[in-house]
Every structure is written in structure tokens, then in C-alpha cells.
Amino acid sequence: MRTFLCLLALHAACDGPSEPVEPEATSGETPATEAAAAAGTREAPASRGAAPVATHPPDPADWETLVSTYVTDEGFRYEALKANEADRAALARYVDQVGAAEDTDWEKNEALAFYVNAYNALTVTAVLERWPIEGVMRVPGFFDSIEHQVAGETRTLNALENDVIRSERFAEPRIHFVVNCASKSCPPLGTHAYTAANIEGALATAAEDYVRATTEVSGRRVKVSRLFEWFANDFGGTEGVRTFVADRLEGEDAETVRNERTDIGFHDYDWAINAVAEEATTEGEADE
């Protein structure tokens, strides 16, 4: 009998221990759900920081169509644009795109092209909203009070030019020859919208054309645009202006300007609206 009991005990030991009985959950949750809940209370691991999705400025196709249609050698055809409902809508659409854009560290040239296009389009818009006018300086606060939306920011034209376009981000003095202040003495509007691909060529051409068109050499006296007086620091001061102008002239004129003994003066600035002649006449009649 004792032998039989020993055999039974030996058999039980060979079968191994029985499975543990799972304790009853006191909270009504299973161990699995408790583990999940516990995991949910832990701090999430720090994000490794995914790179932001690359974006680009809005396509300036509408602005391209407008400047190619309304910019002439004589000036801008404000009256014609004012009368064209479809083109006014295209301008408004582009201005809306300018306001809604997000500057996510755009590449330098595409950003500069965007902000110059924005400045010019907003200037035209501000003129049209007050048309007819004799000149922008007769509109109170035209540059420093009237606000516009640009890439999610509220800015005046002065703020857009001085805080953005002239900033160290671009450090580009030639911008003065592609931004247009809607006045006779301003560098003319281009007939194409600016893009990352064409902005460098446009800057070079506009600077050379404006310097040659506005520089007057007479003996040892030279007169240049007053832009070079107002923004001399952008060109490296007085001597920087001298070099900048001389580099864009040819022959004796270039040597005369480069000579330090040559006096450099400045033309008066004509703030009359840069409208084509027939529209300027219409405006004058409207004011009588």
C-alpha cells in the first residue's frame, strides 16, 4: 500500500506544477487592460522632430497676366484695369494668395521674388481703390498707414519694403529698381512677374537700365536718382553709390563718375502717378 502511494506521488511530480490561477481583478479590468492604461499614463517619448513639409510661394500667374497686359513704356493703365471686372477679380485673387501664403523659410530667390511681386501688386491695388489720384503722396498714409496682408502678417508698404525686402535676409540693394511706388520717378514696373528663376536677371537688367536712364553727366558734375541719396547705406555709403553707378555706365561717363573729384548730386523726384498719358488727362478732367 505504501508503495502504491509513493508511485502516485511520483506520477504527480512528473506532471509538473499546475497553472497559476489568475487573480480576480478588483477594478473590473483584466490585467491586459490595466497594463494598457498604465502605459497610457507614461510620457510619450520626445519627438525626433520631423522636417516641415516644403512649401513654395503662390504661383504669380495672375500677376504675370496683369503686368503683361497693363504695363506700357509710358506707365500703368489704371483706368483700363479699373474698367475690366475680370482682371480686377484676378488681381484680388492674387492679393488674397499673397495674404494667405506661408513663408516656411523659402529659398532666397523665390522669397525675394514673392515679396517684390507682393509689394507691386499691393501698390497697384491701393491706387485702384482710390482712383483717380494725382499721386500717391497725396493719399494720407499711402505707404505708412494703409495695411495689407502679406504671408500671414499685417504690414504697411513701408514695413514690407524696409523690414522684409531690404532686410539682411536678402541684403540686395538692387531691389530698389524692381519695387515700384506708382510714381513717375520710380523704376518702372516690369512686364513679367518675378520668380526664383528670373529674379537675378531682372535685378541686373533693371538696375542697369535705371542707372543709364537717370544718370546725367556734365563735365565734372553728375546727377543721379534721389533713390541713391535716400538709400545710400544700402549701396555702401557715398563711395558705394559712386561705384554702383559707374559700374553700370560705359566709357567716359563711367570714368567721370568713378573719379572721386566728381561731384554727385541728385535729381528732384517726381511723385506724379505713373499712369499712361491718356489716363492722366482723364484724371485731371475728373478733378476739375
- For the chain, the structural domain boundaries read 61-206
Q: Could you tell me if 98 and 152 are in contact, meaning their C-beta atoms sit under 8 angstroms apart?
A: no
- pLDDT for the residue 16: 43
Q: Which residues contact 257 (CB under 8 A, 6 or more apart)?
A: 215, 217, 222, 242, 245, 246, 249, 264
162-214 residue pLDDT tens: 999 999 999 999 999 999 999 999 999 999 999 999 999 999 999 999 999 99
Mean pLDDT of the chain: 86
166: helix, strand or coil: coil
CA distances from 81 to 91, 138, 279 (A): 9, 21, 11
> Which residues are 71's β-sheet partners?
76
Which has the closest alpha carbon to 130: 139, 143, 121, 141? 139
- pLDDT for the residue 34: 44
CA distances from 79 to 45, 87, 91, 127 (A): 61, 12, 14, 11
**Average pLDDT of the residues in 55-64:** 97
- 49's torsion region: left (phi>0), alpha (psi -120 to 50) or beta? left
Q: Which residues contact 258 (CB under 8 A, 6 or more apart)?
A: 242, 243, 246
Whether the CA torsion 241, 242, 243, 247 is positive or negative: it is positive
Whether the CA torsion 176, 89, 67, 73 is positive or negative: it is negative
Report percent pLDDT > 70 for the chain.
Answer: 78
Detail the DSSP E strand segments found in the chain. 148-150, 153-155, 216-218, 221-224, 263-266
pTM of the model: 0.80
Residue with cell 475680370: 86
- pLDDT for the residue 278: 72
